[in-house]
Amino acid sequence: MSAAERLGQARAWLRQDPDAETRDELAGIITRAAAGDTLAAADLEDRFSTRLAFGTAGLRGALGAGSNRMNRVLIAQAAAGFAGYLLQRSRSDDARPTVVIGYDGRRNSRRFAVDSAELFAGAGLRAILLPRLLPTPVLAFAVRHLGADAGVMVTASHNPPNDNGYKVYLGGSDAGSQIVSPADAEIAAHIQRVADAGDVGLLPRSDAYEVAGEDVVDAYVAATAAVAHAPFGVQEMRWVYTAMHGVGWETFSRVVKAAGYPAPRVVDEQRDPDPTFRTVSFPNPEEPGAMDLSFARARAVDAEFIIANDPDADRLAVAIPDEGAEGGWRRLTGNEVGLLLGWRAAKAAQSAPGASLACSLVSSPGLGAIAEAYGLDFHETLTGFKWISRAPGMVFGFEEALGYLVNPGTVRDKDGISAAVALLGLAADARVRGVTIAGLLEELGSEIGHFASGQVSVRVDDLSIIANTMTSLRAQPPASFGTRAVATAEDLARGGAGVPAGDVLRYRLADGSRVVVRPSGTEPKLKIYIDAKAGSASDAAAAVAELEAAVRELLAERG
């Protein structure tokens, strides 16, 4: 596209933009680009050479003007396109599809949610807006609780502060799970038709949407408190909680009280929603430094453990005292928490006909060992709860990126609040026996073997680096990682063995270890997952450390 054509495209976008902030932003760039400013021209190229792709994760990206950013024009196109898909999907001419809309505390979340509600209502759908900013799990719950045909959550979860997103769920036979193929492509096609039609200002809107009552939130609180009521004798349990500047605290505090647990010591600086996430460089409890304030608070109150949610409260992080760790506290890996919660679920469902445990194929194989020990089925899926939530007979599912599904009967997605309640139940029951969370990990290791995991994550500015690395690994699979020989190399691009196709490479090593390589689905990262099993926790950790070093060496060679 020529520079003149790009300017014309940007001006057409500007004319339909209802947002004064992004209009001003784009108008300034257009003026500078038209005057010959090469940086402004490059900026326009970045904003308009493509559009944010609608996929199984919905939409997610940086806020700003242009088709490759999150803004009110893009949201209008997405909402109108999704409405068209739902109307086409409706089985009866008399049906009026119902869609529930939720939003978190990020910049523009409420504005995007209200825009969506107005456009859904204008298209003839029954649109129900949740009463205020709430965690993503409440929206996932509301889709099933209200018998809705679909749900939309405006959130970018744990992404950087300037991002936002649009997450889509389907009701009916999809039971409130996130969308999967081919629904994503069908929705994307509807959205593209709306975009091709031109001015979103011509789309019908209506303020005849409903606002859900507090009874929806009350029902979520009651159902989540029922996951694990507190046992007698834990009122002195000391623990710390952080909401990571997100929307978790209000709902979680109600659940904790209803379930009978003692109130936590809260990280006050991070308790309330703040779209700037001012105390963290990256609002993700997995990231270095994100839990430093939690550690400080825990040391001050001599806490027994820490619980953290990410900003939309669909993920859970846990930390425990550890004299060998810097600062005296260690965040458990997602796999450690997942195995503990899976162990809990397996005991409850032991040998139940058809019951299963499920995890993504990059998560710890220890869950399969637990399932085998307790007579349950086991399913490995592609990454993402859109797949995990669909595992047959699942009573518990998780993925290593701090996501846990502990109550599939009510929420068919990862839920950091219900997972936190399940963890509180584990910790409280152990405390009654005089055992810590660290002690529970030792008990589990003694029962099924000690599993350790690690990850090498490479963030890039140029996505072609990731594609080139995956191409290189496919063309020339590694024969070993350090001194550990590769026994089998699997390319899952074509699927197989009950696993849908995905851009994933899996290497099983001769010593029983495993290395999995895949691009991130939500961030510009290449992720390498490492798992090892040994007779002791220290031996398993040593094996993982050796493999991490070998992986970094291999990536340097292929870079």
Burial code of 300-334, b = ≥16 C-beta within 10 A, e = fewer? eeebbbbbbbbbbbbbbbbbbbeeeeeeebbbbbb
**Residue 43: Cβ-neighbour burial (10 angstroms; 0-12, 13-18, 19+):** buried
Nearest residue to 395 (alpha-carbon basis) of 376, 385, 381, 408: 408
**Does residue 294 carry a catalytic annotation?**
no
CA distance 133 to 119: 19
Give the count of alpha carbons within 13 A of 470, CB side only: 24
Q: Show the tokens assigned to 280.
A: 């963290």
Q: Show the CA angle centred on residue 288, arms to residues 284 and 292, nearest 5°.
A: 90
SS3 percent helix, strand, coil of the chain, rounded to 5, is 40, 20, 35
Dig out the tokens for 387 from the structure.
Answer: 């797949």
3-state secondary structure (DSSP) of residue 35: coil
Full DSSP string of 251-279: HHHHHHHHHTPPPPEE-GGGSS--TT-TT
The one catalytic residue in 116, 157, 177, 389 is 157
Q: How far apart are CA 92 and CA 402, in angstroms?
A: 40
- φ, ψ dihedrals at 311, nearest 5°: -60, -30
Cβ burial, residue 541 (10 Å; 0-12/13-18/19+): middle
**What are 217's two structure tokens?**
């939130």
Quote the tokens at residue 440. Answer: 């529970």
Side-chain half-sphere exposure of 32, counting CA atoms within 13 A:
14
**CA-CA distance, 322 to 18, in Å (whole number)?**
53
Characterize the bridge pairing of strands 356-360 and 394-399: parallel
Helix (H) or strand (E) holding 190: helix 183-197
Rounded Cα gap, residues 218 and 557, in angstroms = 55
Q: Answer yes or no: are the C-beta atoms of 227 and 316 closer than 8 Å.
A: no
* Cβ atoms of residues 163 and 61 within 8 Å: yes
CA dist 311 and 153 (Å) reads 13
Which residues are designated catalytic? 157
